[in-house]
Chains A and B, each alone.
Chain A
């Protein structure tokens, strides 16, 4: 609060300053002044609509008669009164009892248009701001009370199954293996608001159920092992070995020249000089270099005959102390060298690749980075390649002190492997050989050299591996199969079902174990069959709800309520199950303690698992799936990847600092990597990792609206698409989706040559001029035209095909938006409440995993008011949602 007052004070001081008065306030200043106009600013501390005595609230009809009705008569009845029915709608006939009457939804609509200033129509009538405030305040209180009344009579259930990605993360966390377990599950449908975790849409079919059961069995198989520890095999590959293959060919050329021209010393000298010069050149493709002599040769590779394969060795390879040969990977084009390993790579287990690398030059800042790929080529046409490294590894070392880069990846997860690796002999076609590729992923021309590659597979840190021991832990009971099975199954059920199982539940599983044991050769197999049923149970697959029939003792009921809260929390912030600590806090019944709950939320947001929340929420909130479908010239893979990550990176930055969510509308910084910085014309940003960069005031970026990914996915390459951009803004950012087009709306007739030659903007204007289209498009188009300074790739432009860009547009209320700056100005000045409330709704919808209804409106209002008063911090939003009745009650 103190901070808030200080900044308002600063803003009003600026207004008094005569120098500032001449100029428009900055966008950052508008964030402060806009807040002073928030309706939550004044009413949030007012009396709650719910009387303290717990009696149901009553409708305030007296205020309606005394104050509201006269205002409605003055401003609305001309068009929506007894004698007129503009838009088929009469305010005068609405039942003023919003709490019990039948017209609650209509009143909500009235509230929305009056608050936004869309009604009364700004071009016909000016509404006195004080009058508007009176109407808005009364409607707001009555609607809130109505929402509470509605809520008391029940709401949408959040009982639902896990989504595909939640199921995947749940298995990952449960088994301790970061693999993709869910790829065989069908994709989820999206709710109208774009969310995949909406309880009303998550169905189950028999084939899906069978898939769950199969995936559970396969996942358990991958987590456990049998038999003795497999012997690893090793490779130790020096770039000297690799270079010498190429040098040998050069030597043969020299020998050939010597032989050919032995009688012509002049010609021979000329030829040898040419060959020597060739052997010293540098390339823009990968090449080998002997450092002491400067001798170079281009790195060649071909699949046939497996001629480039290196044989495995018996013992673990070590990096040699010195080296004189390197492979150089030029930067900027994802150049890579192939290190072919033959047909001995195991089917499963971890493969570890270790590389010694450095930059080639010593220039500062400009750090390239490495990626690792795995692939094979069996024949001309049969081949595959996939990236197996996760984050790019920046190469910061200089040649005098190279760094060691190590990757590990699970061989069982690579698909497809070379399917002839066990049937076709080495040297034959199809080739059974497989390879790794080491790639320089730098966005700029910054070269990397490597001198040695160590490979080891399968690597097991311990045997049996940790994932196995988590299930089949050491126990005193291991001599007694039934007792041991009970112990294993109970512990597994507790984690998978997020609560201790009841004795009856365990007994049932033990009965199943007894039936299965004689049919399985090994004890472990029978246990795994039972565990697979634990993972295919609705207790695992569904998010539990309070039981209306529960008649448990208070303590137990409290523990169960806590357990369900823990699951909701984990699904919200980790997209997965609670961990042991959360289960423990919940089973002690203390999770509902506000301080403990806050501490848990902070802990969870600090945990790397919260990256899943950022990624999935932001993708669904902003409908970034659209960007996945975008592909056109000029959109190189590095740029597309960076575009996809930028909104998530900004979200994480805002979250980390508990910065105001208004930063999503505008910020004086951006979170970018080198490729994006170049796209935006920002200097001195090097490397593929994202970081915060302060923006000069003349840079038209900052916030979500100007991110190139958002702009590109709402374009129609090579043209921008103002309509798509407008609809995206209204749907995702303002949660105010335009109505769908009416059924008989005239299409834009591209067969008409007059229309075909128009610019997109002109076509939109033409379309808007038709009466049937106007009423909707006048509320849509202006928003999108404000984006016109950004092209289909999200780059800034001053002209379109030689004509200056016209990014100005007139809003429904006659106000002119001057391009993106004007749009941001308008939103920060007039629509802060709408945006903040929209963002709260989106986060709450995602957090609850169910659609919000009218009955949730009061709660959303309360949350919005609380966070508006505390400065709109993103972390504060999350905490406030979690502590709200909406989230805590069931």
Chain B
């Protein structure tokens, strides 16, 4: 306890000391935007600067798309070209047309099959976006609803106070959605949904434009309250026996740590905002222009990362079960509604059409991954991608089936990730086929046995530097990635 408090204190001094002395601005040019940003990394003492890798941030981005993916059976003529999962396994695998936009990034990513969250495997796919990052039992119908903390927020606990904005939570549909029909994949430590923002302008303002003074006022109130509570507890302490003083010290330590957190938050108020040229961005875009909208959303995350405004972002590209703005994204490639594509796979070209939509999503995701790869880490070593862990996936595969999630993990090589692999846990033993109007794949007896997806999540947390032994219902870590 004591040691932790001391370290935090040192950090505080470093920040307090150097803020006014150093030139905190450093201009970057890239992708047409002029950026001016305060970098806490550069405020560290010189001996730490000797190894620039020390300053490498560790970022996390999580992306969700609904409706599952094309899962034609091997005997289906479309299997070779339009199945979502690659063919092969290990380091020997080939992409289908769904994934061709990621071909050039093959060495920077890993594809997974045969992973899912055990508790919701028999839940209908429409309900399951809620638990993609949490692993909770969501259930269907009229049951009581409970959720738990999401992967990104678990990481925010660890890294949230290192940046001005603890985390960026976005979705195409916006808000929280409803229970079991979520519009956000981020849930706080009490399992409550964190509202997602869908309007580019609001996201931009939140990241790069000064806000009102309410947060300053709240912090000032907390500060005075904590001072008084500390004094109050210390006066109680004097009256206690040695043994009881020892018990109360835990409380005192907690108050002190809370004070440090408030101090840290207050310092952010005085750090100048990064200057980002917004002229190049069309912040009024909506899903009426689906491709441009998607590009802008990814661009905003890129800017937030690059300015180190946040290190954690989630983006739910679409809600489950259609019905909403996100369903219009399919118009980017000439279809009407995205959700419908997943229902019509038995039609001529059904798999292909659905696959083209997935290809489009991977194209935009790939553009974003590629950009992080092209750009060097502003205050560290390597490219931004090497310091960023990106998870892209869905909580269903075959029609409404909550198993064998399609999962891509990209980036993070400087956190020790080994890529260029296909961890094919499902093998050829997967459920699929078109929906023929009757029984659906999710109602069938499960084939094969999935691994808990939380095993991947706890592995990710460890690579991000969190000393987590487990996450949700994880049973271990994933070796070899």
Chain A interface (Cβ < 8 Å from any Cβ of B): 157, 159-161, 183-184, 199, 203-210, 213, 375, 378-386, 416, 418-420, 423, 429-430, 504-505, 508-509, 511-512, 515-516, 519-520, 529, 532-533, 536-539, 541-542, 545, 547-550
Contact = CB atoms under 8 A, between A and B. Distances in A.
Given A382-B178, A516-B224, A539 B236 contact: yes
Given A206-B257, A381-B140, A508 B232 contact: yes
B181 interface: yes
A537 B217 CA distance: 22
Contacts of A423: 175
Interface of B: 124, 126-127, 140-145, 157, 175-181, 189-190, 217, 220-221, 224-225, 228-229, 231-233, 235-236, 238-241, 243-244, 247-248, 250-251, 253-255, 257-258, 261, 320-321, 323
Contact of B221 (A203, A383, A418, A519): A519
Given A378-B178, A381-B320, A430-B323, A549 B239 contact: yes
B116 to A, nearest CB: 18
A379 B229 contact: no
Contact of B180 (A383, A519, A529, A548): A383
A157 B241 contact: yes
A385 B229 CA distance: 40
Nearest to A373: B142
A342 B238 CA distance: 58
Nearest to B253: A206
Contacts of B320: 381
A384 B190 contact: no
Contacts of A536: 225, 229
A19 B254 CA distance: 72
B232 A537 contact: yes
Given A206-B261, A381-B127, A385-B142, A430 B228 contact: no
Contacts of B241: 157, 159, 545, 547-548
Contacts of B144: 384-386
Contacts, number: 146
Given A383-B178, A423-B175, A548-B241, A512 B254 contact: no
A384 B145 contact: yes
B79 to A, nearest CB: 29
A203 B250 contact: yes
Contacts of B247: 157, 159-160, 199
24 contacts: A208-B254, A209-B254, A210-B261, A375-B142, A379-B178, A379-B323, A381-B320, A382-B178, A382-B181, A384-B145, A419-B176, A419-B178, A420-B178, A423-B175, A509-B228, A512-B224, A515-B224, A519-B217, A519-B220, A536-B225, A542-B251, A548-B240, A548-B241, A550-B239
Given A160-B247, A381-B140, A533-B228, 13 more contacts: A204-B250, A206-B254, A206-B257, A207-B157, A213-B258, A381-B321, A429-B323, A512-B228, A516-B221, A533-B232, A539-B232, A539-B236, A545-B240
Given A209-B258, A381-B321, A533 B229 contact: yes
Nearest to B262: A210
B231 A508 contact: yes
Contact of A381 (B180, B255, B257): B180
Q: Which 6 A-B pairs have the closest CB atoms?
A: A382-B181, A382-B178, A209-B254, A385-B142, A547-B239, A381-B126
A379 B225 contact: no
B contacts with A: majority SS: helix
A209 B255 contact: yes
A623 to B, nearest CB: 23
B313 to A, nearest CB: 22
Nearest to A421: B178
Contact of B254 (A159, A204, A382, A542): A204
Contacts of A209: 251, 254-255, 257-258
Contacts of A529: 221, 225
A465 B233 CA distance: 33
A542 to B, nearest CB: 7
Contacts of B176: 419
A418 B225 contact: no
Given A203-B250, A383-B180, A547-B239, A213 B145 contact: no
A274 B221 CA distance: 74
A547 B225 CA distance: 26
A545 B190 contact: no
Given A209-B254, A380-B321, A157 B244 contact: yes
A515 B228 CA distance: 11
Given A381-B321, A416-B145, A430-B323, A206 B180 contact: no
A512 B244 contact: no
Residue of A161, A383, A509, A547 contacting most chain B CB atoms (<10 Å): A383
B142 A538 contact: no
A536 B230 CA distance: 11
B66 to A, nearest CB: 11
Contacts of A548: 240-241
Contacts of A205: 250, 254
Contact of A549 (B145, B238, B250, B255): B238
Contact of A416 (B178, B255, B258, B323): B178
A204 B241 CA distance: 19
A379 B254 contact: no
Given A419-B175, A533-B228, A538-B248, A384 B217 contact: no
Nearest to B4: A206
Contact of B258 (A206, A380, A532): A206
B258 to A, nearest CB: 6
A384 B127 CA distance: 12
B5 to A, nearest CB: 10
A206 B260 CA distance: 11
Given A157-B241, A380-B126, A430 B254 contact: no
A231 B142 CA distance: 31
B258 A210 contact: yes
Contacts of B126: 380-381
B228 A383 contact: no
A378 B190 contact: no
Given A183-B190, A423-B175, A533 B225 contact: yes
A547 B243 CA distance: 12
B401 to A, nearest CB: 15
A384 to B, nearest CB: 5
Nearest to A381: B126
A537 B144 CA distance: 34
A584 B208 CA distance: 57
Nearest to A548: B241
A539 B236 CA distance: 8
A226 to B, nearest CB: 17
Contacts of A183: 190
B244 A379 contact: no
B179 A382 contact: yes
Contact of B233 (A199, A504, A538, A550): A538
Contacts of B243: 157, 159
Given A519-B220, A545-B244, A385 B181 contact: no
A309 to B, nearest CB: 17
A87 to B, nearest CB: 35
A213 B233 CA distance: 14
Given A384-B144, A430-B181, A548-B241, A538 B321 contact: no
Given A508-B228, A519-B220, A384 B239 contact: no
Nearest to A541: B251
Contacts of B244: 157, 159, 545
B250 to A, nearest CB: 5
Nearest to A529: B221
Contacts of B233: 537-538
Contacts of B177: 382, 419-420
A386 B146 CA distance: 12
Nearest to B223: A515
A558 B142 CA distance: 56
A161 B252 CA distance: 13
Contacts of B127: 381
Contacts of B254: 204-206, 208-209
